[in-house]
Chain A
């Protein structure tokens, strides 16, 4: 399932010498469910952190769109107590006073300096336009939650759309890149609303990400034009359900696509397999005039084929070469190829081919890349 794959990737964190995995969650006004996905991912990662199952030992949450109190309540409702939260959660509060207006007014005595922070571990940001300072705040708070020198923390930003209101796309991209390449960041994820920005901004954010999760409407409506009673059920449906498509970018450049449906519920969201999942996977096969896939009969026939040198095995079981050489085989090294060994039986006076297969049978164009785990 796509959502589970995301949670696993964020839980596992960064490999040594690699940038941290980065997730973009994007939605639009016709399927405004991105915030639900963000909350879900945050809750999942928090659960892994509190049970020490993740590489990240804590989270630094940058709150622009919702208050620190909202997130504290959210995480408490997922079975985290306040004391536990203080150990591994830090919040950069860019919600309460992002431009320093309240502080200025309080300093001049116009309003009272009433603090809105209660039991949350929030650090107030008074200048959301200064992304260098924001980066420093994130890193500083991150160091508070890691327990060892080589420990790492996760970063979550609840609205890159808000960052882009205060700063340019290049500054925002630079902030995210710097976080991703920081050697103490395990993973990071953020939400933005794609219809609030130009295409180049969306593309820039997606290029920085190793995973892009897109929430789209379940039903196509007429975009609000000619609002009538026929459109309403569809529009209402889109407020509670959506298509959830995720694009994973592997290290070797290959892309993996997954999709499912998401449904909002009172306590969060639920992911279910998409009804059109089979259709979607079929549609990924290009439409050409020759067959690219095997039928059932062809698969069976293929399984029955005995390879040319194996039928000379005289009833002995078919072996698969495991890379270890015997002493006798090393004498005939000059005559060896990668997949075959030629052995001359001096006693019998006739040639014999001893063939050991170098791997198990594999379907052509299989999704799994055998070189995927190579650290080239």
Chain B
């Protein structure tokens, strides 16, 4: 049984993140899918801490687009995990974009222009970071995609366009893009789900689901991590899939294989 405070837990191993680098994998898109019964927000919080806390990566930056919660929400949660987001924000290592209180224009054209300006800010931040000495990786996080779609007049196409641009930025500047989306939001839609598009685009897909056996007090759900590996022109690494259970505690999360909990 491993907690998220230990050096390398099951989640980090499944993601292929090397503890020495405090996270790794530039040029990748990581998709977190959750449900009403099993929120995947804890994975976002864990990854924020991992990307900001590594001593080997003092100049790396996390660019955070929040459509779901105000800054104070994340600050409170990360403090309990031992990470001071306020200080990181002042040091320009945690760049927080409040998308909740923006004035969203009517119509898809207005929404596209707004998205263009947000993308411009992200690219500028990443370019600035990459020019600093000792730069390793940046991280772009979006919480969450379904609310982003709502904000953009329901245009899943615009969201996909934005993700495509973030992905191409990631491959150019060796960034990691992390997005959270809700699987059950799309389940009643007749047309092919935009979530499928994102699954095709993503290099790593983490699904947070309830147990097949239902609710339990000691186990809050299961994570399935599909790591497609890196595919470059000269060759591809093998895809791997891992499944394990988790329990969310006050200040950390425990990950364990089924049946290994004593």
Closest to B116 in A: A101
B232 in complex: contacting residue of A29, A73, A102, A105, CB < 8 Å: A73
Interface residue B209 (Cβ < 8 Å from any Cβ of A):
yes
**From residue A115, how far is it (CB to closest CB) to chain B in Å?**
10
B233's closest neighbor in chain A, by CB? A73
Whole-angstrom distance between the alpha carbons of A179 and B191 in the complex?
29
Beta-carbon contacts under 8 Å, B204-256 to A: 207, 209, 212, 222, 224, 226, 228, 231-241, 243
Query: Looking at the complex, which one of B127, B197, B207 makes contact with A111 (CB distance below 8 Å)?
Result: B127
**Chain A residues within 8 Å of B172, by CB:** 116
Q: Which residue of B lies closest to A194 (CB)?
A: B192
Q: Is the CB of B192 within 8 A of A29?
A: no
The answer to whether the Cβ of A131 comes within 8 Å of any Cβ in the partner chain is no
**In the bound complex, CA of A267 to CA of B235 (Å):** 5
In B175-225, the 8 Å CB interface with A consists of 191-192, 196-197, 199-200, 207, 209, 212, 222, 224
Q: Spot the interface stretch: A45-53, A64-72, A148-156.
A: A64-72
Beta-carbon contact of A74 and B165 below 8 Å: no
For residue B120, which residues in chain A have a CB less than 8 angstroms away from its CB? 101, 105, 110-111
> Cβ of B100 < 8 Å from any Cβ of A?
no
At the interface, yes or no: B164 with Cβ under 8 Å from chain A? yes
Chain A CB within 8 A of B157 CB: yes
Cβ contact within 8 Å between A72 and B119: no
What residues of chain B lie closer than 8 Å to A95, measured between beta carbons?
168
A73 near B234 (CB under 8 angstroms)?
A: yes
B123 touching A105, Cβ below 8 Å: yes
Is the beta-carbon distance between A77 and B234 smaller than 8 angstroms?
yes
Q: In the complex, which residue of chain B has the Cβ closest to the Cβ of A73?
A: B233
Q: Report the bound CA distance from A264 to B231 in whole Å.
A: 12
A contact set with B: CB distance below 8 Å: 29, 32, 35-36, 67, 69-77, 95-96, 98-99, 101-102, 104-105, 110-112, 114, 116, 161, 165, 193, 195-198, 224, 226-229, 232, 235-236, 239-240, 264, 266-268
Q: What residues make up the interface of B, taking CB atoms closer than 8 Å to A?
A: 116, 119-120, 123-124, 127, 157, 160-161, 164-165, 168, 171-172, 191-192, 196-197, 199-200, 207, 209, 212, 222, 224, 226, 228, 231-241, 243, 258
